[in-house]
Chain A
Amino acid sequence: MSELSIQGVSKHFNGHSVLDGIDLTVASGAMLALLGPSGSGKTTLLRLLCGFERCDAGDIMLNGQLVSSAGVHLSPEKRQIGYVPQEGALFPHLSVADNIVFGLPRAQRKARHRVAELLEMVGLPAEFADRAPQQLSGGQQQRVALARALAPRPALVLLDEPFSALDAALRVETRQAVQQALEASGATALIVTHDQAEALTMGQQVAVLWQGKLLQVDAPQQLYRQPLTAELAGFIGDAVLLDGMAEEGMVNCALGRLPLRDGPKNGRVNVLLRPEQIRLRDAAAHPDAPRARIEQIDFYGHDACVRLRLPTLTSPLLARVPGHQSLQRGSEVALQVEGRASAFLQPA
Chain B
Amino acid sequence: MLSALMNWRQAANRHVVGGWPLRLLALAVALLVLLPLLFTVWQACQFEPAEARQLLLRPLVGELAGNTLLIVLATTCSCALLGTASAWFVERTQLPGHGWWALLAVVPLAMPTFVTSYAWVSLSDLLQGFYGAWLVLTIAYAPLIFLPVSAALRGMDPALEESARTLGLGPWACFFRVILPQLRPALLGGMLLVALSTLSEFGAFMLLHFHTFTTEIFAEYRAGFDSSGAALLAALLMLLGLVCLWAERRVRHQASYERRDRGARRAPQRYALGKYRWPLVLAFALQTIVSLGVPLATLMYWVTQHGDAAITPAEVSPELLWQATLSSLELGLSGAVLTTLLALPLGYLLARHPGRFSSWLESSVYLVQGVPGIVIALALVTLCIQFVQPLYQSNLLLVLAYSILFLPLAMVSVRSALLQAESRLEELARSLGLNWWQAMLRVVLPLAGPGLGAAASLVFISIVTELTATLLLSPIGTETLATQIWADTAALAFAAAAPYALILTAISLCSTWLLMSLLGRNAISGLGNG
Q: Which residues of A pack against B, CB within 8 Å?
A: 50-52, 75-83, 85-87, 89, 91-93, 102-103, 134, 138, 145, 148-149, 152, 165
Contact = CB atoms under 8 A, between A and B. Distances in A.
A145 B157 CA distance: 15
A76 B262 CA distance: 26
B168 A86 contact: no
A11 to B, nearest CB: 15
Contacts of B163: 83, 85, 89, 145, 148-149
| The 7 residue pairs across chains A and B that have the minimum distance between CB atoms | A103-B167, A89-B159, A85-B159, A83-B166, A93-B181, A76-B165, A92-B257
Given A52-B269, A134-B258, A85 B168 contact: no
Nearest to B164: A102
B170 interface: yes
Interface in B239-282: 256-260, 262-263, 269
30 contacts: A50-B165, A51-B165, A75-B170, A76-B162, A76-B165, A76-B166, A77-B165, A77-B167, A77-B168, A77-B170, A81-B166, A83-B166, A85-B162, A85-B163, A89-B162, A89-B163, A91-B178, A91-B181, A92-B182, A92-B258, A92-B259, A103-B166, A103-B167, A103-B169, A134-B258, A145-B163, A149-B166, A152-B168, A165-B262, A165-B263
Most chain A beta-carbon contacts within 10 A, residue among B160, B165, B170: B165
A83 B164 CA distance: 9
Nearest to A102: B167
Given A92-B182, A93-B257, A152 B167 contact: yes
Nearest to B169: A77
B159 A86 contact: yes
Given A77-B167, A93-B257, 5 more contacts: A77-B168, A85-B162, A91-B178, A91-B181, A134-B258
A83 B161 CA distance: 11
B260 A89 contact: no
A79 B168 CA distance: 8
Interface residues of B, number: 25
Interface string B173-186: 00001100110100
Given A103-B168, A152-B168, A91 B162 contact: no
A88 to B, nearest CB: 8
A332 B523 CA distance: 69
A100 B259 CA distance: 19
Contacts of A51: 165
Nearest to A103: B167
Contact of A79 (B159, B166, B178, B184): B166
A95 B160 CA distance: 15
B269 to A, nearest CB: 7
Contacts, number: 71
A149 B167 CA distance: 7
Contacts of B166: 50, 76-77, 79, 81-83, 103, 149
Contacts of B262: 87, 165
Contacts of B177: 102
A89 B160 CA distance: 5
A39 to B, nearest CB: 13
Nearest to A166: B262
A165 B264 CA distance: 12
Given A87-B260, A92-B257, A93-B182, A148 B167 contact: yes
A44 B151 CA distance: 27
Contacts of A78: 168
A239 to B, nearest CB: 28
Contacts of A91: 160, 164, 178, 181
B149 to A, nearest CB: 16
Contacts of A145: 163
A319 B177 CA distance: 56
Contacts of B164: 91, 102
Nearest to B162: A52
Contacts of B181: 91, 93
Contacts of B258: 92, 134
A225 B400 CA distance: 81
Nearest to B259: A92
Contacts of A87: 159, 260, 262
Contacts of A81: 166
Nearest to A50: B166
Interface in B172-207: 177-178, 181-182, 184
Nearest to A80: B168
Interface string B215-250: 000000000000000000000000000000000000
